[in-house]
Amino acid sequence: MTFLNYLINGLSLGSVYAIIALGYTMVYGIAKMLNFAHGDIIMVGAYIIYYSMTSFGIDPILSIVISMVLCTVLGVVIERVAYRPLRNASSSLAVLITAIGVSYLLQNTALLMFSANTKTFSSVVAIDPIKLFDGQLTISGEAIVTIAVCIVIMVGLTLFVNKTKAGQAMQAVSEDKGAAQLMGINVNGTIALTFAIGSALAAVAGALMCSTYPNLTPYTGTMPGIKAFVAAVFGGIGSIPGAMIGGLLIGIIEILGKAYISSQLADAIVFAVLIIVLLVKPTGILGKNIQEKV
């Protein structure tokens, strides 16, 4: 029974990773860049919800919506100001370092505005935990909502990418920017849209994550951001179902590793599994293997 409890905790944490990883994977697929600042958007989103709920007394759902809107704006602005000018730079490292700069910027701005003191985030979920098997198995409301939201987002995004015009434009741009441009697709707009969606998802992830793990600091987003990045690579970067599978697996491995092996080595276990997976399958679980044409 304790195993089932751990498994559900793992699924819940994994769902958060999956939602963040979706943002990573979409941005990578389309802009071919590792957006190192993605994790920090989670942190910004969580602060917005925190202050909206505590200082303004706004209801949790509305707070999340506000946070999503503000994070979307933030994501689009970052893309426009810091990343777009470097899209055609001669080295792909240029935009990577800039993303690191943006990450520092967000963290230090948060540090100045909100101080380094840990804020205790109050849960946005108002569902009572479910008790099963005479109370031996308790599933928290947060876990139920997190897993449900993750499934909804996953299905929604898959439909969006495959069924809508904007989604197909995204696929076209990720395949070949030049050709997409010639077909009359607004490449800049499509990339901006991708950042918008990714950032909105980050806000949702921030709300869910901080509801389960309520300590909020300016560095809250960093480690989950890195883990989600690992999840995206694990599943095959650029693939939406891959991000989902990668996120869930990383979450489960982390929680089970903490429970059964060593709480201090859990992160090392997650990273070791990643290395092993990449050794067996160099482009991740669902990644496509692209051969260079000679």
Residues 223-282 touching another protein, rule: CB under 8 A, are 226, 229-230, 233, 237, 262, 264-265, 267-268, 271-272, 274-275, 278-279, 282
For residues 37 and 202, what is the distance between their CA atoms, to the nearest angstrom?
A: 11
Residue 283 is a binding residue for another protein (CB under 8 A): yes
Residue 10 CB partners (closer than 8 Å, separation 6+): 248, 251, 252, 253, 254, 255, 256
Q: How many helices (H) and strands (E) does the chain have?
A: 11, 4
CA distances from 11 to 4, 184, 231 (A): 10, 42, 13
Minimal distance, residue 6 CB to another protein, in Å: 20
Q: Which of 59, 61, 62, 85 binds another protein (CB under 8 A)?
A: 85
Q: Which is nearer to another protein, 104 or 260 (CB)?
A: 104
Q: Which of 4, 62, 73, 93 binds another protein (CB under 8 A)?
A: 93
For residues 30 and 167, what is the distance between their CA atoms, to the nearest angstrom?
A: 11
Q: Which tokens hold the place of 221?
A: 């987003």
Residue 77 is a binding residue for another protein (CB under 8 A): no
- E-only strand ranges, the chain: 119-120, 130-132, 137-139, 215-216
Minimal distance, residue 53 CB to another protein, in Å: 26
Residue 294 is a binding residue for another protein (CB under 8 A): yes
Residue 28 is a binding residue for another protein (CB under 8 A): yes
- In eight-state DSSP terms, residue 84 is G
Q: Which of 86, 147, 172, 286 binds another protein (CB under 8 A)?
A: 86
For residues 224 and 214, what is the distance between their CA atoms, to the nearest angstrom?
A: 14
Residues 109-148 touching another protein, rule: CB under 8 A, are 109, 111-112
Using CB under 8 A, list all residues that contact another protein. Answer: 28, 34, 82, 85-86, 88-91, 93-98, 100-102, 104-105, 108-109, 111-112, 226, 229-230, 233, 237, 262, 264-265, 267-268, 271-272, 274-275, 278-279, 282-284, 292, 294
